[in-house]
């Protein structure tokens, strides 16, 4: 159906009292609401809330959940018997969406273990494993703006669904009848029948007990002065409990941001990658002379950190920098197995690989997305070829203990606090230690730039930009890694070698002197992302190289856009 037919169908079947009717009548762009179905991305669906097939609402949630229910039925009785865990964050309608999902599962005879109150994403991942459930659903839009929500799906290992399962699920969702025609039973009826079971403190306590396993140096002094903000999200309870259990009590909370609020009123974006997000935390830090500032995103899977530099000013560390610090501390403190391995993504800094080689530890690369890191952990368990030590990605996502199979900001807070306390005893801040790493391994520096192109014409432009770089690599390219063709090409000689990673529309260019560029369309937004990495002899040298590389690439992108038209 075209968008007008879709809208007519909705208006015909929406209950007269449904508030979405009124919203739809005042919708300035109904075509965008109904022009397509919300796309099933790397982990599920995500989008703006509102009426229509291309928006997040109870009807699109019902349809996607029905698809997962049918997928579980296809897997057999064991999947149905084990059931699904459902959690939600603090966003608008998250609790309602979680209940709609539970009701749909009950309609298909599948039991739901439902968190009645909001929970962090890593606790959902932990709960799937703890309860031996077959699947999990997390209602969240992570760090997106307030008018967004989403639904992420997890498999029996507590990780986001792997590619094959996700592709099959996407196909099944397309076979589900119209979302407007799905009418699940009432909550009380399903609860009486045993299809909805509420869970909570038992899971929380088990998760918090598991945090003890990630502590490497329990004798560190606990006088560390910490400022913490959950950015109006879900992390407050678990972070406070985790820090206290580890002996850290000198914690100042950013009061304006400590309570859950779906509008995130004090920040432009609730993303700890964004340095502006730390504005209030820095004020608190200056008032309390804090050693370290910690910020988690709304669903508590990402952690941002700020520390004092040599001038006493707070500096927000990048995800790459914090990941390198965590990795180096872990390798120094941990008893390392002979087959230890760390896992990072292809867009994560090469500083990590330089560090691991110094400890005779293997570094494995995956595609962008923590699901691929979790998939490797599962592979390690099956083959016993490697022992998982640490996983991370440049976008502030880290995992220390594999009792969770998703990036985990709560684990990371406890681990980083211990690390900062350890170095404080030596008279060093984490910034001092970072400079030591640069001096030892090279001054690595990275950046990301995004090109946002809405509507179909914009998406066509992204495709053309990818094709232009694929057919005409930058002149200094030594190696082109084409993940769509799954081959690495040594450009001077033309020699090709296979890439043993899943197919993806991603290009990575490697230049001389350890510089590189990676280009990929976003899996969750209408963006094309450009990742840059360089290695210099000093901070000034690496900054200069980074700016030069950025300009060279983005000038080419702009010239391509001028040639193709702006797409606006």
So which residues are the catalytic ones? 142
Report yes or no: 367 and 346 within 8 Å, Cβ to Cβ.
Answer: yes
Backbone region of residue 387 per phi and psi (left: phi > 0; alpha: psi in -120 to 50; beta: other values): beta
CA distance 271 to 152: 18
Rg (Cα) of the chain, in Å, rounded?
24
CA distance 336 to 33: 53
Q: What is the DSSP secondary structure assignment for residue 162, as one 8-state letter?
A: P
Q: Which residue has the tokens 């309860």?
A: 131
Looking at residue 512, the DSSP 8-state letter turns out to be: G
Which token pair is 419? 């690390």
392 bridge partner residues: 344, 398
456: tokens are 């179909």
Distance CA 526, CA 457 (A): 11
Rounded to 10 deg, the angle between the 455-471 and 539-564 helix axes is: 120
> Residue 538 gets which letter from DSSP?
S
- Under 8 Å between Cβ of 449 and 551: no
CA atoms within a 13 Å half-sphere pointing along the CA-CB vector of 331: 24
CA torsion sign for 380, 381, 384, 389 is: positive
Q: Residue 43 and residue 151: Cα distance in Å, rounded?
A: 8
Beta strands (DSSP E) in 332-486 are 340-345, 362-366, 387-393, 397-399, 443-452, 479-482
Q: Is 176 helix (H, G, I), strand (E, B) or coil?
A: coil
Helix (H/G/I), strand (E/B), else coil: 132: coil
> How far, in Å, CA of 557 to CA of 451, rounded?
9
**With the C-alpha atoms ordered 209, 211, 215, 218, is the resulting torsion angle positive or negative?**
negative
> By C-alpha distance, which of 565, 549, 458, 463 is closest to 509?
549
Q: Is 486 helix (H, G, I), strand (E, B) or coil?
A: coil
């Amino acid at each position: 159906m075209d968008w007008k037919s879709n809208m007519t169908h909705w208006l015909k079947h929406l209950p007269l009292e449904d508030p979405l009717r009124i919203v739809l009548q005042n919708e300035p762009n109904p075509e965008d609401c109904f022009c397509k179905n919300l796309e099933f991305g790397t982990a599920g669906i995500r989008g703006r809330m509102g009426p229509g097939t291309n928006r997040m609402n109870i009807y699109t949630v019902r349809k996607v959940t029905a698809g997962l229910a049918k997928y579980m039925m296809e897997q057999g009785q064991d999947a149905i018997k084990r059931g699904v865990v459902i959690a939600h964050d603090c966003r608008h309608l998250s609790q309602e969406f979680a209940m709609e999902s539970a009701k749909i599962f009950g309609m298909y005879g599948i039991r739901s273990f439902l968190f009645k109150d909001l929970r962090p994403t890593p606790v959902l991942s932990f709960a799937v494993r703890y309860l031996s459930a077959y699947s999990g659903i997390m209602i969240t839009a992570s760090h997106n703006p307030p008018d967004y929500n989403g639904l992420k799906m997890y498999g029996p290992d507590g990780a986001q669904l792997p590619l094959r399962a996700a592709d099959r699920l996407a196909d099944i969702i397309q076979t589900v009848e119209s979302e407007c025609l799905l009418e699940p039973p009432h909550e009380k009826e399903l609860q009486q029948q045993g299809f909805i079971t509420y869970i909570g403190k038992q899971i929380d306590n088990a998760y918090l007990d598991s945090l003890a396993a990630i502590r490497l140096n329990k004798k560190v002094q606990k006088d560390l002065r910490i400022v913490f903000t959950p950015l109006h999200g879900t992390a407050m309870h678990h972070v406070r409990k985790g820090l206290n259990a580890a002996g850290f009590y000198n914690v100042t909370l950013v009061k304006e941001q400590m309570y859950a609020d779906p509008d995130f009123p004090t920040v432009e974006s609730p993303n700890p990658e964004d340095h502006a997000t730390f504005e209030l935390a820095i004020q608190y830090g200056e008032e309390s002379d804090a050693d370290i500032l910690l910020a988690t995103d709304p669903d508590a899977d990402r952690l941002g950190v700020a520390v004092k530099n040599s001038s006493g000013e707070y500096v927000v560390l990048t995800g790459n920098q914090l990941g390198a610090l965590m990795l180096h501390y872990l390798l120094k403190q941990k008893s390392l197995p002979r087959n230890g391995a760390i896992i990072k993504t292809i867009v994560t800094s090469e500083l990590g690989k330089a560090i691991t080689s110094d400890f005779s530890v293997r570094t494995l690369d995956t595609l962008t997305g923590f699901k691929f890191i979790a998939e490797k952990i599962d592979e390690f368990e099956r083959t016993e070829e490697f022992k998982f030590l640490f996983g991370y990605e440049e976008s502030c996502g880290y995992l220390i203990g594999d009792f969770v199979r998703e990036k985990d900001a709560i684990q990371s807070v406890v681990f980083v606090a211990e690390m900062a306390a350890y170095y404080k005893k030596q008279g060093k801040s984490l910034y001092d230690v970072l400079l030591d790493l640069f001096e030892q391994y090279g001054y690595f520096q990275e950046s990301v730039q995004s090109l946002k192109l809405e509507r179909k014409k914009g998406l066509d432009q992204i495709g053309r930009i990818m094709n232009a770089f694929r057919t005409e690599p930058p002149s200094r390219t030594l190696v082109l890694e084409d993940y769509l063709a799954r081959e690495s090409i040594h450009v001077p000689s033309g020699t090709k070698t296979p890439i043993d990673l899943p197919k993806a529309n991603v290009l990575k260019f490697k230049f001389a002197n350890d510089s590189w560029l990676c280009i990929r369309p976003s899996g969750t937004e209408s963006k094309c992302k450009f990742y840059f990495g360089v290695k210099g002899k000093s901070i000034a040298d690496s900054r200069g190289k980074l700016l030069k590389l950025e300009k060279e690439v983005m000038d080419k992108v702009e010239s391509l856009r001028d040639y193709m038209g702006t797409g606006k």
